[in-house]
Structure 1
Amino acid sequence: MHRLTYIFVLIIGLSLRAYGQDMDLQKAASLSQTRPDSALLLLRKLYIKAQEKANKPIEGQCLQQMGTICYNQGHYSQALDFYLHADKVFTQAGKPLSVAANMGDIGILYYYNKQLDRARSFYNKALSIYRQYHNVKGEAKILGNIGHLYEKQHRYDSAFYYQRKALEGYQRANFKQGAAKIYENLGSIYEDLARYDSAYVNFNRSLQLYREQNDQTGSIEVINNLGDILRKTGKYKESIVQSRRALQLATSLGNVYQQASSAKDLGKAFELMEQMDSAYHYAELSRKYSLDVYSKDGVKQTAFLQVLYDFNKKSDEIDRLNNIRKVNRIIAIAVTIVAVLLVILLMVLFSRQRLKLRDQQAIARQNAAEHEVMRLELKNQHLEEAALKQQLELRSKELSNHTLSLIKNNQFLEQLRASLQAMVKDERRDQKKQMQQLITQINENFSHEQHWREFTLAFEQVHQQFFESLRNRGLELTPADMRLIALIKMNLDSADIATLLGISTDSLRVSRYRLRKKLNISQGDSLSLFVQTL
């Protein structure tokens, strides 16, 4: 009786733990839409716990979701790394349907990178697995994705074929949300072919299914599409009604991207009706929403890049700790062997004293044991030297990663500054002041002191007492001079140095000339060679 009670409690505990993990994964998926950086942090914690408990399915799902977040943020290389790692974990765990779903995500990644052949290859693999296990819903999803491939290639007959096959699958599985998406896809194909009546019918069916599932986000886009069809067929007033409905729904959900799209469609409709005041109003409103989208995306990207950098850094640290554990296990085994050998040696000596026989053999064994101890001590010394070398390499890698992060950050700011400068030239005068303030803020971020303090700390760990030896020379060097010398010491090219310092290459040339004068370097001598010898 007690045993049955224990088994029952154990089953309940395992069920609650699995439920809690699923809830955490769902929370991360929901959070990824608004806070991708926070979602990535949550998934990393779940991933580490899954690794510690050897829970391969959860480990794979965490990797797959992290790949999807990176894909949605435009980091395709990192996303592909996560997806491929997830594929390996799912395969080891014996989860073929998870493998298929992950392959479908990889296919989508290649599709949006315009590598259609590779996308189709992964779609085919996923489709084969779904058919093998008679998973109708998964099969329908892949068929819809294949239909997208043909639509991209303007092969509309094949696109219709696969979209209708996908619709049949979703209807058999009674999955209305999937069917709604397929009707939306069919409407888009008909719209491309200028068959607006058919497009309108399919968009209406899609909207009806989305409403049945209370999917407001999906409904917004379909309502916008209905407005487009009405506008293209000259029904401007009906088009305005649909676009306003989409704008109101997007506003209630806080979906700024759809607000911008709806306002833009309203501006087009009013322009066609020659109501220029209203057209201008909604065009300006759309532009305002678009700027809000870019601003929020910029903030999200910065936070996400920092989390991604920390994630990679901590992953490297985990690998380093795992290597240390392996070394410690080897040392423990060696110590155990030595202890065993010593015990054997003592037993042999005790036996020799009692029997007073084979003295020469006992001495030989003792010499052999001492030789083994010396060999192990030498081996330990080599391991310590290897650990020190590994630590130095790790610090050099951290410095390189930190420098690369600074370069990427400044390159991003440089691109954004250039885009805003171009907008300043084109926009109306009352908008220029605000955009110029943004450019000023970007210029201030180029020389963020916190980044330089972190860089200086990492640099001094690799090149110890470098700055101190410079100061001891009695040279009157400014902090800017010290930064320039440190970057030259790292063998960075002029373009990367200019990006890190937030200056142009011409300004960098002037800074190098002034530095040569302070260091008393002759005209024919190389500044870089001089710095490398410090």
Structure 2
Amino acid sequence: MTIIPAKPTLFLSALLIFLLILKTVVLAQPNKENQFQQLQLLGQQHPDSALIILKKIHSKAVQDNENLVAGISLQQMGQICYNQGHYAQALDFYLHADKIFGQENNKNLLAENMSKMGILYYYNKQADKANQLYKKALTLYKTTGNKTGQAEIFGAIGHLYEKRHQYDSSFYYQHLALSTYNQIKDKRGVAKIYENLGSIYEDLARYDSSYTCFKKSLELYRQDHNEVASIEVINNIGDILRKTGKYEPGIQQSRLAYTLSLQTNNLYQLAASCRDLGKGYQLLRQMDSAYHYLELSRKYSLEVYSKESLNQTAFLQVLYDMDKKSDEIIRLNNIRKTNQIVTISVITIVVLLIVLGLVTFSRQRLKIKDQRVLSEQNQAIFEAQHGLMELELKNKQLEEESLKQQLELKSKELSAHTLNLIKNNQLLESMRNTLQDMVKEDKRDQKKQMQQIVHQINQSFNHEQHWKEFTIAFEQVHQRFFDKLKQHTNDLTSTDIRLISLLKVNLDSKDIASLLGISSDSLRVARYRLRKKLNIQQGENLSTFIQAL
């Protein structure tokens, strides 16, 4: 919104407003929202005075721990600095306010502050940063359901795209803003969006659409009694009429804007309307009138410049005084902190010296006692360690004896299993021979029964239970024997493994043949084949090789 300069005739009224607001600050009335609204009006007319009041509000809020009031005052100080063109100072105020609103988790104030920073970045030609802040603010407004805030952000994003000449995106966001303002029945917001749409259509040289939008905007501004915005829209309508060759109606609109500007003493719009009148008369070839109004425009522009210069001078003086006062406060605080640090340091040093003396005295007295206790402890530890070492040595000896006993027991078990196998096989062999002799006789009644007995005995030679017990006992005595055997070959049958096991326990060939249930000739063949599988060279003894594994 355009800043309205104060009328010279209203100086006393403005001064009265200033005094009333100052009284409000001093009395610390609870209605902070109304107070800040009054300060916004004062900031448009007298930014230096408003800045001083806001500074006092901020200092008091900091003392009273009113964080939100402190944040809002910082935000308004930033807005005043922005309106005066001091962007760096404005950004500093905004960032401090942003930190406070974030700590208080006030999403609406945080979003509003981001929107203001976005506008600042936009006018500082940092459109990307502005767009990022707009998007963050929009997300926060959607979270809180703030339709007014959403509509403002939609309009700001649309304006951003307009200045980038991305008109499709600009139309999209402006229509979103228009729809949202219509939902909440905000006439002023709707009027502003129609004004924005008129500006976009004007950039696209679609003057009929632009004229329609400006007319709707003007109608809504008049319903809202917004004279300043109405004057600006009337000037825009005059521009459209002039651009479409309707010079006389355009001059009428510019003259109407000129009249309204005189009534409100709006120097900005006076300069703009006179400039437009000068252009209109120039197009009509009425050079005297054109010259007259262009000179008036130059005069009003100089007045605007002079007034702004005075305001800037006063504002800069206020900023300088504020910075100077802040520096003085910081200096005094630093001196106070330094004195406190020195005092605390002196007290600390004295206390430390006393404590050090006491500690030194106590340590000297306790040192002998500690050394005696330490010596006793070391002696006790040594004796305990010595006892543990002796106990561990005895335990190891007991473990070794236990292992030897277990090994002897397993060897005896293995020998017993082997003897049992030999005895069983010898008995079976004897029975088989006897039965075979009986079968050779001619007694037919006994022949069939004897054959069945021989068959059963033959089957008993292959009974696996004794071999399983033998294998378990063997593996317990000769651990990892079969793992070493597999390093030489993996092509061994169960019969080969049994033969190797019997050779390992030093049985003679007759006992081995009896246990395996084969003849001596078959045993020689089996030993020969085993030598080949184990890759034993000629001349090397098979039993010696197996014993070495």
TM-score bracket for this pair, using the shorter chain length = 0.5 to 0.7
Structure 2 match to 1:470: none
Q: Decide which of 97, 104, 107 is 1:86's aligned counterpart.
A: 97
The letter of the residue matching 2:140 is I
How many corresponding residue pairs? 339
Counterpart CA distance in 2 for 1:184 and 1:281 is: 30
- Alpha-carbon offset, residue 335 of structure 1: 8.2
Structure 2 match to 1:134: 145
Question: Where does 1:498-509 land on structure 2 (aligned, <5 Å)?
Answer: none
- Alpha-carbon offset, residue 296 of structure 1: 0.9
Q: Decide which of 154, 165, 168 is 1:154's aligned counterpart.
A: 165
Q: Decide which of 226, 242, 251 is 2:253's aligned counterpart.
A: 242
Q: Decide which of 205, 216, 224 is 1:194's aligned counterpart.
A: 205
Instruction: Name the CA shift for 1:270/1:217 in 2 (closer, same or farther; >3 Å).
Output: same
TM-score normalised by the chain length of structure 2: 0.58
Structure 2 match to 1:111: 122
Counterpart CA distance in 2 for 1:160 and 1:38 is: 40
Counterpart CA distance in 1 for 2:121 and 2:202 is: 25
Q: Unaligned regions of 5+ residues in structure 2, if any? A: 1-26, 366-549
Q: Decide which of 189, 192, 196 is 1:181's aligned counterpart.
A: 192
Counterpart CA distance in 1 for 2:184 and 2:67 is: 28
Counterpart CA distance in 1 for 2:189 and 2:324 is: 39
Structure 1 match to 2:322: 311
Q: Decide which of 136, 150, 154 is 1:143's aligned counterpart.
A: 154
TM-score normalised by the chain length of structure 1: 0.59
Structure 1 match to 2:286: 275
Counterpart CA distance in 1 for 2:126 and 2:52 is: 30
The answer to whether structure 1 residue 27 and structure 2 residue 41 are counterparts is no
- Alpha-carbon offset, residue 21 of structure 1: 3.1
Question: Where does 1:24-103 land on structure 2 (aligned, <5 Å)?
Answer: 24-103=35-114
Structure 2 match to 1:461: none
Counterpart CA distance in 2 for 1:54 and 1:336 is: 32
The letter of the residue matching 2:240 is I
Q: CA offsets, 1:425-446, max 9 Å, x none?
A: xxxxxxxxxxxxxxxxxxxxxx
Instruction: Name the CA shift for 1:18/1:336 in 2 (closer, same or farther; >3 Å).
Output: farther
- Alpha-carbon offset, residue 94 of structure 1: 2.2
Counterpart CA distance in 2 for 1:143 and 1:167 is: 9
Structure 2 match to 1:123: 134
- Alpha-carbon offset, residue 333 of structure 1: 5.8
Counterpart CA distance in 2 for 1:168 and 1:21 is: 32
Counterpart CA distance in 2 for 1:89 and 1:320 is: 25
Counterpart CA distance in 1 for 2:28 and 2:326 is: 26
Structure 1 match to 2:542: none
Q: Decide which of 268, 271, 280 is 1:260's aligned counterpart.
A: 271
Counterpart CA distance in 2 for 1:134 and 1:220 is: 33
**Matched residue of 1:299: which SS?**
helix
Question: Where does 1:89-488 land on structure 2 (aligned, <5 Å)?
Answer: 89-327=100-338, 330=341
Instruction: Name the CA shift for 1:19/1:259 in 2 (closer, same or farther; >3 Å).
Output: farther
- Alpha-carbon offset, residue 319 of structure 1: 2.5
- Alpha-carbon offset, residue 317 of structure 1: 2.2
The letter of the residue matching 2:226 is D
Q: What is the Cα-based RMSD across aligned positions, in Å?
A: 2.8
Q: CA offsets, 1:20-58, max 9 Å, x none?
A: 433332222112212211111111111111111111111
- Alpha-carbon offset, residue 67 of structure 1: 1.0
**Matched residue of 1:33: which SS?**
helix
23-32 or 241-250, larger mean C-alpha shift: 23-32
Counterpart CA distance in 1 for 2:192 and 2:343 is: 59
- Alpha-carbon offset, residue 321 of structure 1: 3.2
Counterpart CA distance in 2 for 1:307 and 1:168 is: 43
**Matched residue of 1:150: which SS?**
helix
- Alpha-carbon offset, residue 18 of structure 1: 5.5
Q: CA offsets, 1:82-107, max 9 Å, x none?
A: 11111011112221111110000111
Counterpart CA distance in 2 for 1:125 and 1:26 is: 25
Counterpart CA distance in 1 for 2:40 and 2:339 is: 39
Counterpart CA distance in 1 for 2:284 and 2:68 is: 57
Counterpart CA distance in 2 for 1:266 and 1:197 is: 21
Instruction: Name the CA shift for 1:317/1:281 in 2 (closer, same or farther; >3 Å).
Output: same
- Alpha-carbon offset, residue 168 of structure 1: 0.9
The letter of the residue matching 1:31 is L
Q: Which has the larger radius of gyration?
A: 2
Q: CA offsets, 1:230-284, max 9 Å, x none?
A: 1111222211221111111111111101100001111111111111111111111
Counterpart CA distance in 2 for 1:56 and 1:329 is: 28
**Matched residue of 1:32: which SS?**
helix
Counterpart CA distance in 2 for 1:206 and 1:240 is: 20
Instruction: Name the CA shift for 1:210/1:91 in 2 (closer, same or farther; >3 Å).
Output: same
Structure 2 match to 1:413: none
Counterpart CA distance in 1 for 2:81 and 2:73 is: 12
Instruction: Name the CA shift for 1:307/1:234 in 2 (closer, same or farther; >3 Å).
Output: same
% of aligned pairs identical? 58
**Matched residue of 1:279: which SS?**
helix
Instruction: Name the CA shift for 1:147/1:18 in 2 (closer, same or farther; >3 Å).
Output: farther
- Alpha-carbon offset, residue 340 of structure 1: 9.5
Counterpart CA distance in 2 for 1:210 and 1:119 is: 28
Instruction: Name the CA shift for 1:17/1:313 in 2 (closer, same or farther; >3 Å).
Output: closer
Q: CA offsets, 1:412-463, max 9 Å, x none?
A: xxxxxxxxxxxxxxxxxxxxxxxxxxxxxxxxxxxxxxxxxxxxxxxxxxxx
Counterpart CA distance in 1 for 2:296 and 2:55 is: 39
Counterpart CA distance in 2 for 1:336 and 1:43 is: 42
- Alpha-carbon offset, residue 336 of structure 1: 8.0
Counterpart CA distance in 1 for 2:332 and 2:79 is: 28
Counterpart CA distance in 2 for 1:154 and 1:227 is: 24
Q: CA offsets, 1:449-487, max 9 Å, x none?
A: xxxxxxxxxxxxxxxxxxxxxxxxxxxxxxxxxxxxxxx
- Alpha-carbon offset, residue 306 of structure 1: 1.1
The letter of the residue matching 1:157 is D
Counterpart CA distance in 2 for 1:329 and 1:203 is: 66
